[in-house]
Chains A and B, each alone.
Chain A
C-alpha cells in the first residue's frame, strides 16, 4: 500500500515535468480550464440564465457535448476487441491509451452533467431516492460511473503491474475487460434511450438513434485515438506500431460508412413521407420559417464526414498527414452531428409549435471549453505517466530521467539551454 502511494506521488511529480512543448500545452490547458471554472462560478451565482437555454430549448451545448463524449469513451472498446477477442497482441499496449481516453471522456461527461444541473448541491438526492429502474437517467448514472470504474481498474492495474514489474494476474483483469466491452455498448445504448424514450419529441422518438450512436461513436472515438497516437508517435520516444494505426483506420472507415448510411436512412424516412413529424429535421437541414442557426453546421459536418470517408477509401488515407486531417474532420463532423445536431432540433419547434432558436452565450461556451481543456489535461497527464511506465523507464526500482523521454535533438537543446542558463 505504501508503495502504491509512492507510485501516485511519483506520477504526480512526473506530470509536472516535460519539455517546453509539454509545458506550453499544459499551461494553455490550465488557463482555459480556469477560465471555464470562472465562467461556471458565475453561472453558479446567477443560475442557468447565464446560458442560452430557455424553457423551449431546455438542453443545449452541455448536453450536446455530453452526448458526444459518451461516444468518445467507446474508443477503448474498439481496441479491446481486436486484442482480447481476436488476440491481436501487437495492439496490447495501445489498449491502455484507449482506456485512458475513456476515463478522461467519462470525467468530461460527468462534468458536463454537473454544470447542466440547476441544483448541483442536491446531487446526494440521487442516493436517497434513486428512481431506478423507471428513470433512464438513473441507468445512465450507473453505466457511466460503472464504466469509469471498470476502465480505471483495468488500466490502473495494468500500469501498476508494469511499474512493479509483475505479470498481471489474468483472472484479475480479463473478466473486467470482457465486461467493459459489453459495458461500452451499454453506455451508448442507455444514453440514446434517454432521448429515444420521449414520446413527445418525434425527432428523437426513432429506433435508429441508438444504432447510429454506436456507429458514430465507433468512428469518432478511434479517430480521436489516431490523432492522439499520432501526437505520441511524433513527440515522444514511444513508437506506435503502424499496424495499430492501420487497424484503427479500418475501424473508422467501416463505422463511418455505417453512420452515413443510417443518417441517410433517417433523412429519407422523414423527408420522403413528409409527415408533420419531420419539421425538426427540416429545421436542422434547411431551416424553418427563416430560422436556420444549425444549417451551416450540419452541412459542414456532412461534407467533412463525406470527404474524410473518401480520403480513407482511397490510397490517400494511408498517408500520415492526410489521415490526421481526415480524422480531425471526422471528430469535428461527428461532434456537430451527434452533439448539437441531435439535441437542439428536438426542441425546435417546441411541443406547441413555437420556434425559439438557441444560441449559446459566451459564458456557456467558456464553461464548455473549460471542461474540454480539463479533460485534455487529464488525458495528457495520463499519457505522460503511462509512456515511461510502459517502456520500462519508470519502475519501482528505477528512477526516471525526464530527458530520456525527449527526442534526441530536443534533449540536446534542453541540455544546452540548461548549460547556458547556468553559465
Chain B
C-alpha cells in the first residue's frame, strides 16, 4: 500500500476510508430496513393480543387482595364481553375447610362412551380448535393393566367393544405433584382441598410441568383457543374454566367452581353408567371414603410415587361375606 494513498484515505480516522464509511452507511441503512421488514408479521397482532398495562401489572393469584381480585375478575368479564359479546360471571371460588377431594372410577362399569370427555370440554371452555381435552379414555385389552397397550383412538359404532375394558385418565390431583415442583414461577400449585390449579395469568408457558407429569394431564395452548360464543359456559371461575390465552398451560381442576359449592364434576354428572364417584375423603360417610375402605382400589403408576387422589377399582364378582370359608394351608 502506498503511503500517499493511505494518507488520503485517512480522512475520518486512520484505517477507515471515506469510501468504506459510505459503504458501511449504506449497508447499515439496508440492514435497518431488513430488520424492520423481518418484524413485519408483528403488524398482524390482533387487538388485545398484547397485555394491557393492568394485565401486565396484575399480581400472582396468592398476592392479590380482595380489591385487586375484584378488579381482575371484572377485567376478565370485560374481555369476554368484548371478544364474544356474552355476559359472563367470573368468580373466585375458594376451597372449603375440612375438605379433600378424591375421585374413584369403577373400571367394571365404564363403557368407554367418552361422554365425560365432551361434557368436560363444554363445562370448562376448552379450545375447540385446536382441540383440547382433559380426559383421555384408553381402550384396554382385557388381561392387562399396562396402559402402553391401550388404544387412544378407538372408534366403534357402539361401545363397549367385546374383549376390551375402558380406562379414562385425567389429572390425578397428586398429593406429591411433580408438576408444581418444577414450575419456575409458582404459576401452578396445590390448593388446600387437594386440587392442583394454574394461574393462567401467571404462567410463562415453559411447559416444564407438562414434561414432569407422568399422567399426561396437562394441556398447552399452542394457538389462541377458539370457542363459539353460543358454546361458552358463562359461569366461570378464576382458577378453573375462564378463557385461557395462547401460550399458557391448563388442566383438569375437578370442576372446582362446581365441586367447591357442593355440586358434582361435569364428567361425573354425565356418566350414563355411574362409573364415577367423587367426594370428600375426610368425610367418612362419603361415597369415596366407603369405596376406599371396602373396594380393592389401585392407583396408576404407583411406582412414580406422586400419591394420586384418583383411584380405580373393579367391582368384585360376589359379596365376600357369602363365600364359603376355606381352611388356610
* Residues of A that sit less than 8 Å from B by CB: 13, 16-17, 30-31, 34-35, 37-38, 41-42, 44-49, 51, 53-56, 58-59, 113, 116-123, 125-126, 128-131, 134-138, 141, 194, 197-201, 276, 279, 346-347, 349-354, 399-403, 411, 415, 418-419, 421-422
Contacts and interface: CB of A to CB of B under 8 A. Distances in A.
Interface in B1-51: 1-2, 5-6, 13-17, 19-20, 24, 27, 31, 34-35, 37-42, 44-45, 49-51
B219 A55 contact: yes
Interface string B169-183: 100000000100111
**Most chain A beta-carbon contacts within 10 A, residue among B20, B56, B185, B246:** B185
Contacts of A31: 34
Given A55-B219, A135-B208, A402-B16, 19 more contacts: A41-B38, A45-B49, A48-B223, A118-B220, A118-B221, A121-B56, A122-B204, A122-B205, A129-B60, A131-B183, A137-B184, A141-B184, A198-B182, A276-B148, A349-B148, A350-B216, A353-B138, A353-B146, A418-B5
Nearest to A195: B211
B172 to A, nearest CB: 11
Given A41-B42, A48-B220, A276-B148, A131 B186 contact: yes
A131 B184 contact: yes
Given A16-B24, A47-B224, A353-B147, A199 B205 contact: no
Contacts of B246: 47-49, 118
A198 B212 contact: yes
16 contacts: A37-B35, A37-B38, A48-B246, A55-B220, A59-B211, A117-B206, A118-B203, A122-B202, A123-B204, A130-B185, A194-B208, A352-B169, A354-B152, A399-B13, A403-B1, A418-B5
Interface in B281-329: 301, 304-306
Contacts of B24: 16-17
B40 to A, nearest CB: 7
A47 B216 contact: no
A321 to B, nearest CB: 33
Interface of B: 1-2, 5-6, 13-17, 19-20, 24, 27, 31, 34-35, 37-42, 44-45, 49-51, 56, 59-60, 130, 136, 138, 146-150, 152, 169, 178, 181-187, 202-208, 210-216, 218-224, 245-249, 301, 304-306
Contacts of B203: 118-119, 122
Contact of B14 (A41, A126, A279, A401): A401
A314 to B, nearest CB: 42
Given A55-B219, A352-B138, A38 B204 contact: no
A34 B42 CA distance: 14
B205 to A, nearest CB: 2
A407 to B, nearest CB: 14
B42 to A, nearest CB: 5
B148 A126 contact: no
B45 A17 contact: no
Given A41-B42, A46-B223, A129-B185, A351 B206 contact: no
Contacts, number: 210
A394 B269 CA distance: 78
A249 B206 CA distance: 38
Contacts of A58: 207, 210-211, 220
Contacts of B17: 418
Contacts of A350: 216
Contact of B15 (A197, A401, A415, A422): A401
Contacts of A401: 6, 14-15
Nearest to B181: A134
A200 B204 contact: no
A422 B51 CA distance: 56
Nearest to A131: B186
B248 A119 contact: yes
A200 B219 contact: no
A135 B183 contact: yes
B39 A37 contact: yes
Nearest to B224: A47
B149 A353 contact: yes
Given A352-B216, A353-B148, A201 B210 contact: no
Contact of A35 (B38, B211, B216, B247): B38
Nearest to A370: B38
A47 B224 CA distance: 7
